[in-house]
Amino acid sequence: MPTSTTLTTNKHLLGWVDEMAAMCQPDSIVFCDGTEDERKRLTELAVSKGILIPLNAQKHPGCYLHRSNPNDVARVEHCTFICTPEKDSAGPTNNWMAPAEAYTKLKGLFEGSMKGRTMYVVPYVMGPLGSEHSKIGIEITDSVYVVLNMQIMTRMGKAALDMLADKDDFNRGLHCTGDVNPDRRYICHFPQDNAIWSFGSGYGGNALLGKKCLSLRIGSYLGKSEGWLAEHMLILGVEDPDGTKTYVAAAFPSACGKTNFAMMIPPRRFAGWRVFTVGDDIAWLRVGEDGRLWAVNPENGYFGVAPGTNMKSNPNAMKTISKNTIFTNVAVTKDGDVWWEGLDGEVPDELTDWKGQPWKKGSTEKAAHPNSRFTAPASNNPILSSHVNDPRGVPISAIIFGGRRSTTIPLVMQSFNWAHGVYLGSTMASETTAAATGATGVVRRDPMAMLPFTGYNVADYFQHWLNMQRRVPYPPKIFMVNWFRKNAAGKFLWPGYGDNMRVLKWILDRAHGKVGAQETLFGWVPKQGHIDLSGLDIPPETVDEATNIDDNEWKIELESQKAFYDQFGERMPRTLELIRQQLLSRLS
């Protein structure tokens, strides 16, 4: 079936769509224009097919529930491949397949895969419209759910085609839900071809190709060659009572607090302070003409974790998801409203769980899947920064790395310098979460929160980070935080959420050179009294425990970092291993 559309005459695009259609053999092809009319039509179609379930229109106007296949509820790292000619280009932390082998294998799966289905062609832009730094992608998909999510998460439709004009410079993304068989699930990246082929999953980062696949894996590869950074970072702005705005970017692994931090409301003690969200998951960082590092959020919406979101932990998220939101794998109340573990109020006596089964209070099963999510437009966010569409982005004064660690890592620490900051990021570790399939709660190294998202050899990525210092005359200061340290009884020591403002305030003061700090063997930490604890109803000893640095724990930590570095062999930058050795030698 030869392709026709009135939306574009781009020969490269039309030729490629023809080629993909010849392989996938859909019944029909639909080019998406991104209009409200189209959204309504596709939503109605999805409802008629049971792909979307309308929610209580009084409580959640314009909102829908989607239940995914229970075997398809998170990113699948073991099925995610970087396909480069040389295995070494992907490095030891990525799954690798030779491009020819991957294309052959996946052609076998895509062949005839859209028979009886519609092929949607989804043009989208990651980054502000019209910006020379934005990236254009075309995602071909057989999933209406994917189209509707892409419309929220990206600048999608005609605007993207207009921006592309007749150029050949776009990411070619091919996605088919297939039969959702976990044994035939592949997320393959071809950095040299600027292409992504994803088969067998309809979920999140596996299927919304603009997000992790293009903006991070392909993005990081492009960043390496073009001199910028694609990072798994939130971006936020803080305005102090005098009106001065400071921007920070923070990398926390999946389900470790980015959305919450990006939407934070400062505690009452911080009257006159305001936080603004620029982004909650991805940052593209470039050197500005002024020699500072500037950050852009390539996304246009939030694909956020539902469990734990409530009016106390994240009121701005609750407002953001109050309308025009797609919920995936949450539970439903009797009156058709959403529910998840950690939502405000009493646990309802009866629910329909994420699989669509009856659920009773007291059940040992979770009602909502731990990785259940909301897809909400950024424009719903009451504290959205006015700079989200600014092609320059915002200037970054501090970079924060943070993992989920119940021991060892203190509440906050500042690096001695850029290289030491890169070392801190490179050795970051975190307990695994439900955002990816596999065991949860296992501590693993997750450098810069990018372990699953670096599209090339992580040793080269470290070198790229080190090299950035020469490109950035006025670099941000680098910090490490840990909101997740626990006491012996397994209880979080730090209250977290809005109270993280207290730590952020110290970070801002340090970035502006306003306060001194205490030197430790491993980094700068706040002096006694420099973290404002007034109005916080936890004993000071608890905070001491959260900020404590235990030499014995650190000795184990530093020694265990070696095995992680060693796997990179000769490619590993010596600078970072020398910093590790120096820290270790100062201990003994």
| Interface with ligand GTP in residues 109-168 (CB under 6 A) | none
Instruction: Copy the structure tokens of residue 401.
Output: 């790395």
Min CB(451)–ligand SPV separation in Å:
11
For residue 371, the minimal CB distance to ligand GTP (Å) is 8
CB 576 within 8 A of CB 422: yes
Q: What is the DSSP letter of 165?
A: T
Residues 6+ apart with CB under 8 A from 264: 236, 275, 314, 316, 497, 498, 500, 501, 504
CB of residue 438 vs ligand GTP: minimum separation in angstroms? 14
- Among the listed ranges 118-126, 383-391, 393-401, 494-502, the one in contact with ligand GTP (CB under 6 A) is 494-502
Q: In the range 418-447, which residues lie near ligand GTP by CB under 6 A?
A: 435
What is the distance, to the nearest Å, from the Cα of residue 577 to the centroid of all Cα atoms in its chain?
Answer: 28
Q: Is residue 575 close enough to count as binding ligand GTP by CB under 6 A?
A: no
Burial class (CB in 10 A: 0-12, 13-18, 19+), 99: middle
Q: Where are the alpha helices (DSSP H) in 296-417?
A: 315-320
* Binder of residue 127, out of Mn ion, ligand SPV, ligand GTP, none (CB less than 5 to 8 A by kind): none
When CB distances are held under 5 to 8 angstroms depending on the partner's kind, the choice from Mn ion, ligand GTP, ligand SPV, none that residue 204 binds is ligand SPV
Closest distance to ligand GTP from the beta carbon of 360 (Å): 23
Listed ranges 29-37, 246-254, 476-484, 578-586: which one lies at the site for Mn ion (CB under 5 A):
246-254
Q: Which is nearer to Mn ion, 156 or 251 (CB)?
A: 251
- Give the C-alpha separation, 572 to 460, whole Å: 7
Look at residue 497 and give the partner it binds from Mn ion, ligand GTP, ligand SPV, none, a contact being a CB closer than 5 to 8 Å depending on partner kind.
Answer: ligand GTP
For helices 574-587 and 458-471, angle between their N-to-C axes, nearest 10 degrees: 90
Stretch that binds ligand GTP, among 84-92, 184-192, 302-310, 472-480 (CB under 6 A): 302-310
Interface residue with ligand GTP among 89, 93, 259, 328 (CB under 6 A) is: 259
- Which partner, ligand SPV, ligand GTP, Mn ion, none, binds residue 66 by CB below 5 to 8 Å per kind? none
Position 313 contacts ligand GTP (CB under 6 A): yes
In contact, 251 and 425? CB cutoff 8 Å: yes
* Half-sphere exposure for 257 (CA within 13 Å, toward CB): 26
| Active-site residue flag, 213 | no
Contact 110/198 with Cβ under 8 angstroms? no
The answer to the question of residue 258 lying near ligand GTP (CB under 6 A) is: yes
Given a contact cutoff of 8 angstroms between Cβ atoms, the answer to whether 187 and 79 are in contact is yes
Can you read off the two tokens belonging to residue 465?
Answer: 């980070």
**Tokens describing residue 37:** 């009319």
Binding site residues, ligand SPV, CB under 6 A: 75, 204-205, 211-212, 254, 281, 303, 435
Considering only 38, 231, 281, 431, the residue that binds Mn ion (CB under 5 A) is 281
Active site residue: 32, 176, 213, 256, which one? Answer: 256
Kindly state the smallest distance separating residue 425's Cβ from ligand SPV, in Å. Answer: 17
Nearer to ligand GTP, 176 or 233 (CB): 233
| Closer by beta carbon to ligand GTP, 114 or else 233 | 233
75 binds, among ligand GTP, ligand SPV, Mn ion, none (CB under 5 to 8 A by kind): ligand SPV
Residues 6 or more apart whose CB falls under 8 angstroms from that of 232 comprise 216, 251, 253, 254, 258, 281, 282, 448, 449, 450, 453
**Alpha-carbon distance 249 to 260, whole Å?**
13
**Residue 500 interacts with ligand GTP (CB under 6 A): yes or no:** yes
Residues 6+ apart with CB under 8 A from 373: 204, 303, 304, 305, 306, 327, 328, 329
Query: Which tokens go with 540?
Result: 């000071």
Q: Using CA atoms, how far apart are residues 18 and 361, in angstroms rounded to an integer?
A: 52
Cβ proximity to ligand GTP, 256 vs 572, nearer residue:
256
State which residue, 254 or 352, has the beta carbon closest to Mn ion. 254
Which two three-digit tokens encode residue 84? Answer: 């480069």
Asked whether the beta carbons of 330 and 340 are under 8 A apart, the reply is: yes
Among 235, 255, 450, 543, binds ligand GTP (CB under 6 A): 255
Nearer to ligand SPV by Cβ, of 161 and 435: the residue is 435
Which residues does residue 351 pair with via DSSP β-bridges, in sequence order?
Answer: 359
Angle at which helix 551-566 crosses helix 574-587, to 10 degrees, equals 160
How many residues touch Mn ion under the rule CB under 5 A: the total is: 2
**Residue among 336, 443, 496, 584 that touches ligand GTP (CB under 6 A):** 496
By C-alpha distance, which of 504, 435, 426 is closest to 464?
A: 426
Q: Which does 286 bind (CB under 5 to 8 A by kind): ligand GTP, ligand SPV, Mn ion, none?
A: none
Stretch that binds Mn ion, among 158-166, 233-241, 281-289, 516-524 (CB under 5 A): 281-289
Q: How far is CA 578 from CA 8, 93, 553, 582, in A?
A: 55, 21, 20, 6
307 makes contact with ligand GTP (CB under 6 A): yes
Strand bridging mode 338-339 / 331-332 = antiparallel
Rounded to the nearest whole angstrom, what is the least distance from the CB of residue 450 to ligand SPV in the complex?
10
228: contact with ligand GTP by CB under 6 A: no
- Alpha-carbon distance of 149 to 151, in angstroms, equals 5
Contacts with Mn ion, residue ranges (CB under 5 A): 254, 281
Contacts with ligand GTP, residue ranges (CB under 6 A): 252, 254-260, 280-281, 304-305, 307-308, 313, 435, 483-484, 492, 496-497, 500
Active-site amino acid positions: 256
